[in-house]
Structure 1
Amino acid sequence: MSSLRILGAAAVLALSALVMSACAASDSPDPEPTTTATAAPPATEPSSTPEPEPASSADPTCETLIGEAVVADFDSVGWTVRAEPFYIGSLEVPDGLRCVWADFDSPAGDHGQMFGWAEISDEDAAAAQAELVDQGWLREEAGEGVYITESPETAIAADENGYGMTYLFIGGTVKFADTKQGILLIEWPKS
């Protein structure tokens, strides 16, 4: 009932202000007609709340590397994320990002998912691919790029097609996931 009183009081105040402004306007002399055009008021009032800045296309984070729905799913099961340097074999890729999602506080904190992304030069990509293949990883060329995946015999966890940890090299960039199917969850760079 008190919210109705507040609403009623607000309506009375607004109506009083409208009547007062109408009375004040009637006391002033009638304006003379003019032939100059007046500017129309802006269609929308400027917002007092600033618009969020779009994420820079050059700076992925663990939360922007994969889709919002995937992040929400991880959050819903209590998983958090740790950002780590991005390695391909022994090569650390500068400015690369590797993210490990897991419940680090539980006894099964070693169960999780990994995603990564980096820009990489053609020379570094070729050297990294060669190093992994020399270590027994498998190379697979596809329309979207070159996949380098760990051997099924040594994979700790694999997707339904037998692929474990996998890198996808695509023209100056590389994606990484703990399975080949996991690469599909990487939505970077944003379009």
Structure 2
Amino acid sequence: MTSALRRLQIGGALAAALLVLTACAGGTPEAEPSRAPSPVASSPTAEPSATPTGETAPTADPTCESIIPESTVADYAGVGWTAQASPFTITGEEVAGGIECVWANFDGPASDQLHIYGWAPIDDATADEARERLQAEGWTIEDTPEGVYVTEPAETAVATDENGYGITYFFEAGTVKIADTKQSILLIEWG
């Protein structure tokens, strides 16, 4: 699947979710408990961190339930959300050993509300190639002391965080993460 097609599929789902949320905005306060949990990190100043020197990456395979906090998994379960896992891909190229998860209420009434989290191990050469492919498709690259953020073009982003970031990859030493917004990267604990 091409990155453009994947963005369109995810974008369509997010657009529909936004329409559903907009339509429900005028609802009564009783509707409040049925809302999906927010993937926003509890601390707006939190920064992603690399594995400290001397520590090794987890030895078990990553799962949708293990790459994000247990409390977030519990919140999702509490509103009937489950995860669907697929291989981690960047512009249609699979990154071996990774996982990409879409969290949503797949068994409930029709709704396109969802959140995306993913993690994969990646070597420097593969990371460089992936960033080049993304940049060629118009994605924005932002180098930081923590790592490199690569964000979808603003004009194609369906949903964004408070700073205008939509689907974002985060490359750091030996790993790459993806989330539906840059801020949601903070929730990915694996690695």
TM-score where L is the length of structure 1: 0.68
What per-residue deviation string (whole Å, max 9, x for no partner) do you get for residues 6-53 of structure 1? xxxxxxxxxxxxxxxxxxxxxxxxxxxxxxxxxxxxxxxxxxxxxxxx
Cα 1:163/1:108, change in 2 over 3 Å? farther
Deviation at 1:109, TM superposition (A): 3.6
Q: How far off its partner does 1:60 sit? A: 1.2
Give the % identical residues.
57
Return the letter of the residue paired with 1:131: R
Among 168, 176, 181, the residue aligned to 1:174: 176
Match of 1:159 among 158, 161, 180: 161
Q: What is the alpha-carbon distance in structure 1 between the residues aligned to residue 77 and residue 169 of structure 2?
A: 25
Q: Structure 1 residues 107, 136: closer, same or farther in 2, change over 3 A?
A: farther
Measure, in 1, the Cα distance between the counterparts of 2:105 and 2:149: 29
Instruction: Give 3-state SS (helix, strand or coil) of 2:84's partner.
Output: strand
Question: What CA distance in whole angstroms lies between the structure 2 residues aligned with 1:80 and 1:126?
Answer: 33
Question: What is aligned with 1:121?
Answer: 123
Q: Match for 1:149 among 148, 151, 164?
A: 151
CA distance in 1, matches of 2:110, 2:164: 23
The runs of 5 or more residues in structure 2 that have no matched partner are: 1-57
What is the CA–CA distance in structure 2 between the aligned matches of 1:103 and 1:146, rounded to whole Å? 31
What corresponds to 2:103 in structure 1? 101
The residue correspondences of 1:20-99 to structure 2 (distance < 5 A) are 57-99=59-101
TM-score (norm 2): 0.68
Q: CA deviation at 1:105?
A: 2.2
Offset at 1:65?
Answer: 0.4
**Taking CA–CA contacts closer than 8 Å with sequence separation of 6 or more, which of the two structures ends up with the larger relative contact order?**
2
**Greater share of strand residues, 1 or 2?**
1
Equivalenced residues, count: 135
Distance 1:153 1:138 in 2: 12
Secondary structure of the residue that 1:116 maps to in structure 2? strand
Structure 1: gaps (5+ residues) = 1-55
- How far residue 96 of structure 1 moved from its aligned partner, in angstroms, is 0.8
- Kindly provide the CA deviation profile for residues 128-173 of structure 1, in whole angstroms up to 9, marking residues without a partner as x: 1000111010000011100000011110111111100000000111
Instruction: Give secondary structure in 2 for the equivalent of 1:99.
Output: strand
Query: Distance in 2 between the 1:82 and 1:57 partners?
Result: 22
2:133 counterpart (112, 131, 147): 131
| Aligned CA-pair RMSD | 1.5
**Whole-angstrom CA distance in 2 between matches of 1:187 and 1:103:** 23
Structure 1 segments (4+ residues) deviating >4 Å: none
Local SS of the residue matching 1:71: helix
Q: Per-residue deviation at 1:112?
A: 0.7
Counterpart Cα distance in 1 of 2:139 and 2:166: 10
